[in-house]
Chains A and B, each alone.
Chain A
Amino acid sequence: MWTPEASIPGDSGATKSPSPMWGGVRGGGMRPQRGPLTSATALRPFAGSLAVLAALAVASLFVGVGTLNPGALVSDPDAVALMFASRLPRTLAAILAGSGLAIGGLVMQTLARNRFVEPTTAGTAQGAALGILIVTILAPGASILVKTVVASIAALGATSVFLSLAHRLPPTQPFLVPLFGLIYGGVVGAAVTYIAWQADLLQLVEVWIHNGEFSGILRGRYELLWIALAFVALALWVADRLTIVSLGRETSIGLGIDYARMLQLGLVIVSVISALTVVVVGIIPFVGLVVPALVSRIVGDNLRQTIPLVAISGATLVLGCDIIGRLLRFPYEVPVGTVLGVVGALAFLAVLHLRPRHG
């Protein structure tokens, strides 16, 4: 706490002290200090959210059209097959995609130095979709890996254009950046729709552009998402550098960081993660926006602490919404993106009303 008497200029005997050290002068009255970088404070929400995610994951394994109860797993080979062919892949896909989407949003916000952008609205995901579409037209038989690589490159191109234009917008008007992002993403998305329409591939494109979902996820169709997890780990690896990058170019250079290289690395992280999720499950909006915003409100922006939390919360949100989507109109499914639209909006309202800690 800031003691009132300490702010009175020239108070007490302090000014006559031979020592110019502030601490020596008035440190005595200070509250005992907590280590500023202790991880204990960061661990509590981390453990809590991990427990919630684990509970949801278990629930997800047993929710679906085919009845499956834990007991059957030991006796019934069909149940085991269902578990490993469908339920487990779907659960893992939701977790991997959710954490990837949230981290993609967080990193993109760090690069743009703006909290209101995310890959699915600012052109990254649309760029990825454009990449897949081009491969599908030019080389219909291409493997999913080739599609992913091309999608990543297209996403990288689209995001680079966005960022270089966004950095030129006046920093005094932070809402221009997301606004520009929305328009830009809309234009790229429209290009995708137009090309798909010309090529008679509209149905195929529909799922990437509008509503990603997990109902088609089976074993053999989601494993690429593990690469997204690798990029989440990469983001954690460079977390301190990313946090410094969020302090701006000058501070970064002053601390000896290669600012341009970090921007490029961040771009690659955002683009590859987005491309992977678009290829495997389609565009899932809101996660990259809502989750980093919530976590930032509660624990701040020190990425070494927030990246694990953001990843777990993203996974929890997406998995939770997928489960809700499976239950709402049972035995039919509501796409996860639709559920997220509602839940995301509610979460955002919560962000607005939540009092930040240490106000």
Chain B
Amino acid sequence: MIEIEDVSFARQGTPVLQDISLSIPAGGVTALVGPNGAGKSTLLSLMARLLPLETGRISIAGKSVAHTRSDALARTVAILRQDTLVSSRLRVGELVGFGRFPHSRGRLTDEDRHLIDDALREFDLTGMADRFVETLSGGQRQRAMVAMAYCQGCDCMLLDEPLNNLDMFYARELMRILRDLADRQGKTIVIVLHDINHAATYADRIVALRDGRLVSFDRTDQVLVPERLEQIFGYRMEIATVDGQPVVLHHR
């Protein structure tokens, strides 16, 4: 589904990504992990053509990111960036509705409206649909942004730290929704996560970056061993097993 070949990227002369190659199969949740500054956001931005590809190739669902029309890509891949600022006074329903733009070009059909209502309901925003985004709390705003990406109706979703600002309840709910989308609708979801335990519980695969290099790309249970986690995050952490599930005691 997502093919990344020999991708390197430099920012102001400093290499930020070096020789990344990986092939993420269609369907399922892939967690992208790594320390701050590892290059996760940069990689996601390159995948979503928000940054121009310098070296290497990326294709999503057979579409080369560098050579496919942007409006066609917008129907294939949706991106939620790490720090989206909504400075316009838009209502939640309007913002989420703009997720339909690649399909509707601004003329919402009944089906579009139905999908918008659906997205609002899915992310528990129905009661806030008429409120201005600027009046929401950080977590509510984050949910609105995720709902907008969801509303885009793409087979592939790239989410950069969508759990930011979410309380435990909504963080868990979001992960469950994403899991559900992957299982029932076959969506391909790449999600940057900081809590490795969310990855442990909900992700099928883990891609780990460190200092711009790919250090791990494997099934989740294969990555969740102390040696590999130390390699990724730079310190030793214990892994307990609860109900047969690995739990990383990263905070100790």
Contacts and interface: CB of A to CB of B under 8 A. Distances in A.
A227 B14 CA distance: 50
**Which of B86, B91, B113, B123 has the most A CB atoms < 10 Å from its CB?**
B91
B242 interface: no
B240 interface: no
B106 A255 contact: no
Contacts of A78: none
Nearest to A33: B126
Nearest to B173: A22
A210 interface: no
Contacts of A1: 127
A13 to B, nearest CB: 13
A238 B79 CA distance: 23
A253 B128 CA distance: 26
Nearest to B74: A256
Interface string A10-40: 1100010000111100110011011111000
Interface residues of B, number: 62
Contacts of A251: 81, 84
Given A3-B127, A243-B98, A300-B90, A37 B152 contact: no
Nearest to B112: A37
B124 interface: yes
Given A243-B98, A254-B79, A300 B132 contact: yes
Nearest to A254: B79
Interface size band for A? 35 or more
Interface string B157-168: 000000000011
A200 interface: no
A3 B69 CA distance: 43
Contacts of B48: 253-254
B232 interface: no
Nearest to B171: A9
Contact of B129 (A34, A300, A356): A34
Given A20-B176, A257-B70, A36 B130 contact: yes
B65 to A, nearest CB: 11
Interface in B169-224: 169-170, 172-173, 176-177, 179-180
Contact of A243 (B78, B85, B90): B90
B233 interface: no
B89 A300 contact: yes
B88 A37 contact: no
Contacts of B16: none
A6 B101 contact: no
B41 to A, nearest CB: 11
B225 interface: no
A358 B72 CA distance: 36
Interface string A214-249: 000000000000000000000000011101101111
Interface string A286-312: 000000000010001110100000000
Interface of B: 45, 48-50, 69-75, 78-79, 81, 84-94, 96-99, 101-102, 105-106, 108, 113, 116-117, 120-124, 126-132, 135, 140, 152, 167-170, 172-173, 176-177, 179-180
Interface of A: 1-3, 6-11, 15, 20-23, 26-27, 30-31, 33-37, 113, 239-241, 243-244, 246-251, 253-258, 296, 300-302, 304, 356, 358-359
